[in-house]
Structure 1
């Protein structure tokens, strides 16, 4: 995370191990102060509103519940006050939506994963959605910089009768600034259970020697911004047809299929701005088809 010429507030060279109290060897991520944050939200609801039942937050994770309209809670916002993620950081988020809860959970801004020294950052997300609850997990993008190391795992526990949209999207460098990601480590995995039974596992993994091959058509081709969106709910065949129709209207690449009891949508673009426009359009169109619920574009995406 620190360049060789980076200077601290007192003028010390932060590339010098002595600046961190480490002598006689190279600085490691474990030698530096690292974040160990967590957030947990439990929501319940009635026919008219969603209420906060439990909140836990551990620095640098903060949780906000902006009032939108007349309902008590319609959107929850996760804030990482550390300003980014570095090697060795650990962040854990858990969201539980109980009967009749209806809420969208998003992030305050794009998350940035900076260069690591020798250890990956670990990000864990656990979502549990009980019967008759509606949950939209719609964080903003994760931007991975060159030589970053990240291990992210998303676990979702679904109950029959629930309705869920869950999204994760990742950007390999900022195209507008000409950034290239040529080395590092990325492990991005999903595990989804329905009524306690594992129904889908997925993983994307790339390490130092593989980055040079990502441009191949069988891998990412010219895409540097990729997203996975899953949908669980009623009428899967009808929803799949609608999503495939929406896919043809987008300016980025998009495809959808059913695996077991969920719909899986992949979206990819050459730049994060293109992917954002595509995802906004997809959510706007799909939420109109779904009817009442938290599945539109989060307000925080426009702030």
Structure 2
């Protein structure tokens, strides 16, 4: 599956901004890909907890299974051993939870997307939670540097009776280091399906021509770090009101809404560290709200 996706991605046309062709010169084409990695993990419930049924990894991706809850809930850590993402890199991730599995997936550290000359990096994440499973996708932040180019796609399939939390967040440069992001290309999309039916599609797009406009009040204003969190599970109306109460206590800009079959949470802050504190507070309270399970702050966030 990953090899086929990789070949299809390689054939796609290069995304360019107006000045890139001038930098390349006539007839030149950059092919600077360093990495084409993949990770796939499948879980199922067992009498004494959650079992790992299948693991596939392709360099530079690695997968670790720290023992943080005696096997009842599995925390899995994905590692990009190449030290970041550069133009032309491709990463494919697939997580499957079946049969009462209880799983939290996170990353070893913040992912960094570096300056690219031409081709964007591509990250495809597929999450599937089947009936009875509980799945939390809680990676650490993605830091985008000036002139970075990235296309990130998150596809989620959940079955009736499953429970899922999925998070993705972007940090536009490290405010503490005085970094500014004034150019580049970011396409960040979501597709959520429930029982095979598309219930929500969303996308964030900014390129060289639009980055200078992001500071307008109607757009990102002073926010340099943004997050989207998705919840699917039981008692949605009750959860919606409780999530709104939690959102009001975060110290970040936050909005919570019910869209069809899912709850969408948006969080924004002036810096990545502020956003992380807000998300930690949200997940701490979410863990208490949803009961024992994989939805709290991953242990790796504190390492």
* Same structural fold, with TM-score higher than 0.5 when normalized by the shorter chain: yes
1: CA distance, partners of 2:29 / 2:113: 14
- Contact 1:229 1:266 (8 Å CA) reproduced: yes
- Contact 1:57 1:63 (8 Å CA) reproduced: yes
2: CA distance, partners of 1:61 / 1:75: 17
- Alignment partner, residue 248 of structure 1: 248
Deviations, residues 168-216 of structure 1 (Å, cap 9, x unaligned): 0000000000000000000000001010110000000001010110011
- Alignment partner, residue 277 of structure 1: 277
In the alignment, structure 1 residue 62 sits paired with structure 2 residue 45 = no
| Cα separation, partners in 2 of 1:261 and 1:72, compared to 1, 3 Å | closer
- Alignment partner, residue 163 of structure 2: 163
2: CA distance, partners of 1:214 / 1:100: 43
In the alignment, structure 1 residue 147 sits paired with structure 2 residue 140 = no
- Alignment partner, residue 6 of structure 2: none
- Alignment partner, residue 5 of structure 2: none
1: CA distance, partners of 2:135 / 2:73: 12
- Contact 2:246 2:282 (8 Å CA) reproduced: yes
- Alignment partner, residue 7 of structure 1: none
- Alignment partner, residue 32 of structure 2: 32
Matching of residues 10-159 of structure 1 within 5 Å: 30-71=30-71, 74-159=74-159
Deviations, residues 86-130 of structure 1 (Å, cap 9, x unaligned): 000000100000111001000000000000000100000000110
- Contact 1:30 1:88 (8 Å CA) reproduced: no
Q: Larger radius of gyration, structure 1 or 2? A: 1
**Unaligned segments of structure 1, at least 5 residues:** 1-23
Aligned length: 280
TM-score by length of 1: 0.90
In the alignment, structure 1 residue 182 sits paired with structure 2 residue 196 = no
- CA RMSD of the aligned region, Å? 1.6
**Structure 1 residue 25 displacement after superposition:** 6.5
| Cα separation, partners in 2 of 1:29 and 1:159, compared to 1, 3 Å | farther
Deviations, residues 26-45 of structure 1 (Å, cap 9, x unaligned): 9x884334200000000001
Matching of residues 290-301 of structure 1 within 5 Å: 290-301=290-301
1: CA distance, partners of 2:110 / 2:149: 17
1:176 match: secondary structure: helix
**Unaligned segments of structure 2, at least 5 residues:** 1-23
Deviations, residues 14-70 of structure 1 (Å, cap 9, x unaligned): xxxxxxxxxx969x8843342000000000013530000000000000000011132
2: CA distance, partners of 1:33 / 1:138: 27
